[in-house]
Structure 1
Amino acid sequence: MRILVIDQIGLSLDFIMRCKDCGHEVRAWFAPREDGKRNDIADGFVTKVSDWRAAMGWADLIVLTDNSSLMKALAPYHKKGYPIFGPNAAGAELELNRQKGQDVFKRAGIKVMDSVEFNDYDKAKDYVQRNMLRYVSKPNGDVDKALSYVSKSPRDMVLMLDRWKVENPQNQGFILQQFRAGIEMAVGGWFGPKGWSRHFLENFEFKKLMPGDSGPNTGEQGTVMRYTEKSKLADKLLLPLTAHLHSIDYRGYFDMAAIIDEDGVPWPLEATSRPGWPCRIIQDALHVGDPAQWMLDLLHGEDTLEVLDEIAVGVVISIPDYPFTKYTGRDTTGYPVYGTERLATEDIHLCEVKMGQAPNERDGKIVYEKMPVTAGDYVCIATGTDYSVTGAQMRAKRAIKKIEIPNSPGWRDDIGERLKAQIPELQDMGYADGWKY
């Protein structure tokens, strides 16, 4: 099969390598870096194209990695029926325009939290001060994760609004939702012209940089997941959206995160109408067989995806100054990723990596060899699978020990641990059926 990967964010290398290992011919387009320079991620691993449009007619399957850009440019290709596996503009709006997403959920019969949309920080501050409640703020668009905030009280919500007014005056709008206590859990699925794949992905994200869920929000520092054909959360959050997703001709992965309160009511937080990262990479640890054929089959109305009946734990491995490199300007390229020569498509999944020259030891001497080296600070994902969370966690930790990266690599060593208490609570309410800690 001829596969074109259109990568707006630079995290498709692992998928590319898996496809090539299965004999597929792969070409890839990577969006330029934020400074406008050429993106060197995946150099030496795949044939790159400078113009994705010129390769559209060549491909049997076109895979998109994100919904933050190119949606308008890709719209004519969606309309003409190109084999695109990934989000479209209408699907992206459900995530990037948060109030629009909440309105669609509500019309589908899903209970939603009251939310108010703002474009003015002072008006939002007045709203908080009038009500004196605890709020969660979430921005529209593809923006810095630091603009999402879960307040502890009205006072720190007002503080953050004051700071954002100075630091981010040109905001794209944001919503305030009243805070609800509960357990955060998500469920996603693969959607094609015949509807959902039979496999739903229940998952738990660990968003903070440091163990104990402390430090800055990176979006997703690690994830625990399991496929199931029977999901109470999918019944409540995904299936009601089936008609809407058909109406907008959505194709690809769609995920809903929710807070499940003490009464067992799931309150949707947000939709992810795209592959999540590193979620998408960790999913491949559970997929059986060809990494791409099932995607083309789903576009043709056939559900051929086969998965392991196990739990997967995935852990992000990064190097300094992650997650602030774009602010500090530190050069994070050229550090060797030792130990990945044979492991890159097993339990170590390369991300911001390219082929380069680095010193290695051979027969008691130091020689410079061609090997994987870093092309950014988000280096790779380590995964482990097992029938329990602890077993999968242990395997992921063993995978981390197989590689060596200079420049002080970091990762969280507690991904999955909070589920020890949460899984029994969820199961008492009928959720997380089949999960074992």
Structure 2
Amino acid sequence: MRILGVGECNDLAAMHHGFVQRGHEVRVFVEDAAYADVHGGMLDFTADWQRELGWVREAGDDGLVIFESAVKGELQDRLRRDGFHVIGGSALGDRLEADRTFGQQVLREAGLKTAASHPFTDYAAAMQFVRSHPGRYVLKFNGANSARTRNFVGEMDDGFDLLALLGLHASRQQPGEAVDFVLMEHLQGVEVGVGGYFDGQQFLQPACIDFEHKRFFPGELGELTGEMGTIVSYRGSQPLFDAVLAPLAPLLRDGGYVGYINVNLIANEAGLWPLEFTSRFGYPGYAICEALHLEPWEAIFRRMLRHDAERIATRDGFACGVVLTVPPFPYHHGYAELGKGAPICLRDSLTARDRAQLSFAEVAQVQGQLVTSGATGYIGVATGLGATVRDANAEALRIARGVVVPNLRYRRDIGERVERGDLRRLQSLGLYESAVSLAMHPSPAAQAVRQA
């Protein structure tokens, strides 16, 4: 195949590198100059992705354009109208992720409950609201590219901590600087996501269930980084899929959506409470999902574009992803002095199969040596598989210990809360199919694997 990757930060670098290793022609466009060296020496790059469209078109049905983010949906829609095969999202997907108020409206119209969410474009108005309605709120900034480290989960029941933070933001606001955010009612329960691959007509089965760990430190302390690790499974997701994703299919079909889409939720005894959309490939989510695939990405994408299959082949069990970083992640200030250019070494104990479970992100190949690159110190993700969450975590940590980089950091507790209680609570709520029920009614893919 001929594959053109388009993105801001080359977040899909590991996916593109996999294509190259499997013999496909790949060219990648990276918009943000700070990330221009990500996978340098490992991929072929282009300075103008639109200039490469003729190269893609020459490949006919073997030509593919992949978008990594949720900010160029209108371009994707236009390319599809022009006859190109495109995987990524659509203008509708961009709005679902970036405009939280719109996303919540869509979810309500799909029959789901939503937490009270209040939009603001002014810090003073938000502060007055909290004073008039004391309580715990979650501050989330709108925009698909908004910094996740700016979001905040209120801890104090009277909202005093949130008021103090809003006051700080207000004091630092520059003249003419626009702000756009929501204050969402804080909810208690199991945080869980459900995602699937939409081919423009329908979702391919099975959907996946995921448990993100967003805080920088173990015990859910520190900054909201976006993701420090995740537990993923393609088994047990049917109740969540039926309740959350299936009702969205008509909207996605009408909106021309083609790609992966995920909804993050809180589940408790009062029901399911959707929080937000991810209308793109999540990172490190796509790399962790890949560990459970029995077929390469290009095979899945061909099925999505040809509409010739309803399922993808996936493994039983769980995958654990552990994010590997160096200072100053999750920030970028001071990276040149603290972490950039550091050598990345792999222990001899890692086999070829082990190394395949490392999905590198901000790295480059310089004179035969793998080094840190990019802008934040996000090295990549170590993945592990297991019949249980604990086994998957142990395997991921074994792989992570095989990576040697100065000042390497990662969390060791990815999945502990899932193993300790989240899965059981979801099962008690009727939102997760237990291993027993799955064994009684195995998926077609699982049956095929067992027969083989």
Using the size of structure 2 for normalisation, the TM-score is 0.88
The equivalences for 1:263-274 within 5 A come to 263=270, 265-274=271-280
**Which of 130-139 and 199-208 deviates more?**
130-139
* Residue 173 of structure 1: aligned partner: 180
Greater displacement, 14-23 / 190-199: 14-23
Q: Could you tell me whether the CA contact under 8 Å between 2:91 and 2:255 is conserved in 1?
A: no
User: Aligned match of 2:40 in 38, 43, 57?
Assistant: 43
Q: What is the aligned partner in structure 1 of residue 23 from structure 2?
A: 23
CA contact (8 A) 1:199 1:229 kept: no
Overall identity of the aligned pairs, in %: 29
Corresponding residue for residue 239 of structure 1: 246
2:55 to 54, 58, 63: 58
Q: Which residue is 2:361 aligned to? A: 351
The letter for the 1-side match of 2:167 is D
Q: CA deviation at 1:111?
A: 1.5
CA RMSD, 1 decimal: 2.0
Q: Is the counterpart of residue 158 in structure 1 residue 156 in structure 2?
A: no
Q: How does 1:4-15 map to 2 (within 5 A)?
A: 4-15=4-15
Of 93, 100, 103, the residue aligned with 2:102 is: 100
CA contact (8 A) 2:122 2:179 kept: no
Q: Which runs of 5+ in 2 are unaligned?
A: 57-62, 437-452
Is 1:323 the counterpart of 2:326? The answer is: no
Residue deviations 1:202-245, cap 9 Å, x none? Answer: 00000000111101110101000001375211111111111111
Q: Does the aligned pair in 2 maintain the 1:382–1:399 contact within 8 Å? A: yes
Shift of 1:344: 8.1
Structure 2 Cα separation of the partners of residues 223 and 292 of structure 1:
24
Q: Which amino acid aligns with 1:49?
A: T
Task: Tell me which amino acid in the other structure corresponds to 1:19.
Answer: F
Distance 1:171 1:213, change over 3 A: farther
Residue 203 of structure 1 corresponds to: 210
1:296 aligned to which of 292, 298, 302? 302
Q: What residue is the counterpart of 1:379 in the other structure? A: 379
CA distance in 2, matches of 1:81, 1:167: 47
Aligned amino acid, residue 266 of structure 2: I
Determine the C-alpha separation between the residues in 2 that align with 1:344 and 1:119.
Answer: 48
Runs of 4+ in 1 over 6 A off after TM superposition: none
| 1:332 CA displacement | 3.0
One-letter amino acid matched to 1:349: S
Query: 1:9–1:66: 8 Å Cα contact kept in structure 2?
Result: no
Greater mean alpha carbon deviation, residues 327-336 or residues 147-156: 327-336
Q: Could you tell which deviates more after superposition, 168-177 or 150-159?
A: 168-177
Q: Which of residues 295, 298, 310 in structure 1 aligns to 2:317?
A: 310
Match for residue 149 of structure 1? 152
Q: CA deviation at 1:336?
A: 1.8
Larger strand proportion of the pair = 1
Q: Deviations over 1:277-309 (max 9, x none)?
A: 111111111111222121122122133521111
Structure-2 separation of matches of 1:74 and 1:252: 11
1:67 aligns with 2:62: no
Contact 1:202 1:432 in 2 (8 A): no
Return closer, same or farther for 1:281/1:171 CA change in 2, 3 Å cut-off: farther
2:296 maps to a residue whose letter is D
Write the distance in 1 (CA, Å) between the matches of 2:64 and 2:360: 22
C-alpha contact 1:18 1:345 (8 A) present in aligned 2: no
Return the alpha-carbon distance in structure 2 between the equivalents of residues 285 and 81 of structure 1.
32
Partner of 2:196: 189
TM-score, normalising length: structure 1: 0.91
Equivalent pair of 1:17/1:345 in contact (CA under 8 Å) = no
Q: Tell me the amino acid that sits aligned with residue 379 of structure 1.
A: I
Task: Indicate the residue corresponding to 1:418 in structure 2.
Answer: 417
Cα deviation, residue 152, structure 1? 1.5
8 Å Cα contact 1:29/1:50 also seen in 2: yes
- Give SS of 1:113's match: coil
Separation in structure 2 between the aligned mates of residue 7 and residue 112 of structure 1, nearest angstrom: 32
Partner of 1:90: 92
Cα deviation, residue 54, structure 1:
1.4
Contact 1:22–1:290, Cα closer than 8 Å, also in 2? no
**Could you report, residue by residue, the CA deviation over 1:226-267 in whole angstroms, capped at 9, with x for unpaired residues?**
01375211111111111111110101011001111233x010
If each structure's helix is expressed as a fraction of its own residues, which one has the higher value? 2
**Comparing 137-146 with 323-332, which one deviates more in the overlay?**
323-332
Contact 1:222 1:415 in 2 (8 A): yes
The answer to whether the 8 Å contact 1:347/1:399 transfers is yes
8 Å CA contact retained: 1:315, 1:381 = yes
Shift of 1:78: 3.0
Q: Do the aligned partners of 2:265 and 2:274 also contact (CA within 8 Å) in 1?
A: yes
Partners of 2:208 and 2:237 within 8 A in 1 = no
For 1:189 and 1:88, locate their aligned partners in 2 and report how far apart those are by CA, in whole Å. Answer: 15
Conservation of the 8 A alpha-carbon contact between 2:137 and 2:186: yes
- Equivalent-residue separation in structure 1 for 2:87 and 2:360 (angstroms): 22
The one-letter code matched in structure 2 to 1:385 is L
- Structure 1 unaligned runs (5+)? 358-369
Instruction: Give, in angstroms, the shift of residue 89 of structure 1.
Output: 1.9
Q: How far does residue 101 in structure 1 lie from its aligned partner after superposition?
A: 0.8
C-alpha distance in structure 2 between counterparts of 1:277 and 1:101, whole Å: 21
Report the alpha carbon displacement of residue 103 of structure 1 after superposing the two structures with TM.
1.2
Given that 1:200 and 1:234 are in contact with CA atoms closer than 8 Å, whether structure 2 keeps it comes out as yes
